[in-house]
Structure 1
Amino acid sequence: MQTDYSESENVIRRLHEITQAYDKGFDYQIEGLLRLGLERFNLDIGILARIEGDTYRIESCVCPEHMPLKSGDTFEFGMTYCAVTCEAEDVVAVEHVGQSDILGSHPAYRQFGLESYIAIPIHIGKMTWGTLNFSSPAPYPRQFQDKDIDALQLMASWIEVELVRLQQEKQLRELNFKLKEMASIDPQTQLMNRPVFMDLVSRSMSQLRRYQTETESALLMLDIDDFRSLNDSYGYQLGDRLLKAFAQVLSRGLRSYDAVARYGGDEFIIWLGETDREGIRVVCDRLMSGLAQLELIDEKLSVSIGICHLKTRPFGMDAMAEFVQPEQVIDVMIAQADQALCRAKANGKARYEFYSDEPVYQDTLS
């Protein structure tokens, strides 16, 4: 048995159906709402418009194919009926614009010739966001009634609530992204922190083992020479500036697929993927030169570097490699690079040292 809905009940029912279709997206819902309005008012053009300064932009539009209107079209705000609607801060409903004191002399009437028009401002808080409007080149065959205005206000209310919800969702996504970013970045140097670095190195090592040939890479430990003395002599503010400046030197001196993190204090750690010993030397020379060129103090700044040079066998080349996971060897690599760093310090600083004369195989570091 079919239920006999009144016009108002039908609008409410249809609006509920449209607004519950969250899975289909806001654009789909707005198009459905515009079509509902056109059907309800028996008009030709339905528009949700955004107003930004002096610009009127169509966000969503439903109109006959022969009318040259589409989403993204912009007009001078003052040249639209909606300028009058926003000034009125209320529903404007005109059945025959040419006979209207409100819109009959408006420039938009001379330009577009739209005879019937009903619209309402859309607000977010106290700000006018835009308008919801329906119009037609033909005069409206009857007077707009209270139930028409009620239906328009109901549609506008949902749009306002949904715009606020979407705005809050966007702010929440941005906040979550910022919190995630803050959790992965060292706040003083803006480099990635240790946990993120370790995860990246682990994934990179796993990727290298999928190659068909042996590959080389390196893990570097870096320590700014005499950093504590610099802090004592020049103060901690200079130390903070030095850490930030050196972090920038490190970021500029590496390839896009390398990684650098602050390890702690004035120590930094670097992962160089797919590089040989000569490539490692080039990077070390570049980083040492970059620090030396910083003009934060009169003294020449220097850094010492310890290097674990790694060679990785592909899967299947060595039976032991099948059972050695990256997580098992990273700590050993760090320990070896740290030992090499200690030797560099003991041998006069401002230099780099390899842990061994030849690269060590990944599957031996367990």
Structure 2
Amino acid sequence: MELQYTESERVIRRLYEITNAYDKGFQYQIRALLAMGLERFNLDIAILSRIEGDKYVVEHTIAPPDIPLRPGDTFELGKTYCSVTCEANSPVAIERVGESDALGTHPAYQAFGLESYVGIPVRCKGELYGTLNFSSATPYPRQFNEIDIDSLNLMASWIGVELIRLQQETELQLLNQKLVEQASTDSLTRLPNRRSMFKYLRKEVNRINRNSQLASLVLIDIDFFKKLNDKYGHQVGDEVLYAVAQSIKNTLRDYDFVARYGGEEFLVWLPETTQLEVENACRRVMNNIADIDIVDEMLTVSMGICHFKFTQHLNTDTDTLIDTMVAHADSSLYKAKAEGRNRFHQYELDDEKQLILPREDR
């Protein structure tokens, strides 16, 4: 036996179906809600608006093809019926606008000639968000009744609640994104931290190995940084660290990688780069750092470089290779520091991990 529903029950049932269709997305739900309102009120135009100061912005709409109304269209609020709805702070329903005291002389009636109008303010967290309204150029064939207003209230209430939910969802996504960033970013230099550095290098080493390409790993250490800290204080020291970090980052190519390795040391990964190109990149980094004007002394850095040529499938695990490259770069860095700083040394390492003697560049 087919169940029989009252008019109110049919409205509630349909509203329930629409508002629970979360899997179809907010855009679908709003459009279905507007279509439901048009069917319920037997009108032609449906709009969910956003009120921004004295501006009325169409966010979602359904309108006949001959009415040029699109999302994003903006009108002066005072020239819309919704200005009266916002002032009333309650539903406004008028069957024959031309005969009403509220809207009969309104500029919107003179401009658009919409005879039927029913609208309600939409609130989000207690603040006016916009309006939900339905209208038509032809007079409403009957009077708006209690069920009509109840339906309008239910639709506006759900929109308000859903706007809050979407706002909270967006805030949660931003918070999660911020937490992920904090977990992978050095708070002082804004570079990737040591944890995210190793995660990145694992992927890069595997990629470079598959394509049998060249890569170089560079360790950079700020010369005499402890003396700078002792002389100028830790705040200036932090400024130096940040400036050096940004200088290195801005000197390199978009697909190069730089991370804070620890203390005053930075790690640079230069993929698909010849030895000569690495040397030129290191000189540019040194020259740009020397131009930093924070302390009286000229800032210099020492560098240790490990080149690696991938020519066959690695017979060792990725982490071991990374540790080996870092160890050779670190050893080379200490040689550069021992011989007077402000220079770089290089190691060449083949894919059998046989160490070739270091070559002094400067």
The question of a shared fold, defined as TM-score above 0.5 by the shorter chain, is answered with yes
Structure 2: gaps spanning 5 or more residues = 356-362
Match for residue 358 of structure 2?
A: none
For residues 84 and 352 of structure 2, the distance between their equivalents in structure 1, rounded to whole angstroms, comes to: 76
For residues 322 and 309 of structure 1, the distance between their equivalents in structure 2, rounded to whole angstroms, comes to: 15
Q: 1:365 Cα deviation (Å)?
A: 7.1
Alignment of 1:289-328 (within 5 A): 289-313=287-311, 318=312, 321-328=313-320
1:107-149 Cα offsets, whole Å, 9 max, x none, are 0001110111110000012311010001111111222112211
- Helix, strand or coil for the counterpart of 2:30? helix
For residues 33 and 232 of structure 2, the distance between their equivalents in structure 1, rounded to whole angstroms, comes to: 67
Alignment of 1:1-366 (within 5 A): 1-211=1-211, 214-313=212-311, 318=312, 321-355=313-347, 359-364=348-353
1:268-318 Cα offsets, whole Å, 9 max, x none, are 1111111111111111111111111111122122111011111111xxxx4
Q: Structure 2 counterpart of 1:183, which letter? A: A
Q: 1:71 Cα deviation (Å)?
A: 2.1
For residues 39 and 96 of structure 2, the distance between their equivalents in structure 1, rounded to whole angstroms, comes to: 19
For residues 70 and 338 of structure 2, the distance between their equivalents in structure 1, rounded to whole angstroms, comes to: 73
Q: 1:259 Cα deviation (Å)?
A: 0.6
Equivalent residues of 1:193, 1:263 under 8 A apart: yes
For residues 120 and 129 of structure 2, the distance between their equivalents in structure 1, rounded to whole angstroms, comes to: 11
TM-score (norm 2): 0.95
TM-score (norm 1): 0.94
Equivalent residues of 1:242, 1:296 under 8 A apart: yes
Runs of 4+ with >6 A deviation: none
1:2-23 Cα offsets, whole Å, 9 max, x none, are 1111110000000000111111
Equivalent residues of 2:208, 2:215 under 8 A apart: no
Q: Structure 2 counterpart of 1:106, which letter? A: H
Equivalent residues of 1:312, 1:363 under 8 A apart: no
Q: 1:52 Cα deviation (Å)?
A: 1.1
For residues 196 and 257 of structure 2, the distance between their equivalents in structure 1, rounded to whole angstroms, comes to: 10
Number of matched pairs = 355
Q: Structure 1 counterpart of 2:213, which letter? A: T
For residues 288 and 281 of structure 1, the distance between their equivalents in structure 2, rounded to whole angstroms, comes to: 11
Q: Structure 2 counterpart of 1:307, which letter? A: I
Q: Structure 1 counterpart of 2:243, which letter? A: A
For residues 365 and 124 of structure 1, the distance between their equivalents in structure 2, rounded to whole angstroms, comes to: 67
Equivalent residues of 2:47, 2:134 under 8 A apart: yes
For residues 323 and 291 of structure 2, the distance between their equivalents in structure 1, rounded to whole angstroms, comes to: 32
- After the TM superposition, which of the residue ranges 258-267 and 49-58 deviates more from structure 2? 49-58
Equivalent residues of 2:314, 2:351 under 8 A apart: no
Equivalent residues of 1:120, 1:153 under 8 A apart: yes
Task: Indicate the RMSD between aligned Cα atoms, in angstroms.
Answer: 1.4
For residues 129 and 213 of structure 2, the distance between their equivalents in structure 1, rounded to whole angstroms, comes to: 58
Equivalent residues of 1:223, 1:267 under 8 A apart: yes
Q: 1:202 Cα deviation (Å)?
A: 1.6
Equivalent residues of 2:59, 2:71 under 8 A apart: yes
Q: Structure 2 counterpart of 1:360, which letter? A: L
- Helix, strand or coil for the counterpart of 1:305? strand
For residues 203 and 306 of structure 1, the distance between their equivalents in structure 2, rounded to whole angstroms, comes to: 22
Residues 1:99 and 1:309: Cα distance change in structure 2 (over 3 Å): same
- Helix, strand or coil for the counterpart of 2:210? coil
Q: Structure 2 counterpart of 1:346, which letter? A: A
Equivalent residues of 1:117, 1:135 under 8 A apart: yes
Q: Structure 2 counterpart of 1:282, which letter? A: N
- Helix, strand or coil for the counterpart of 1:37? helix
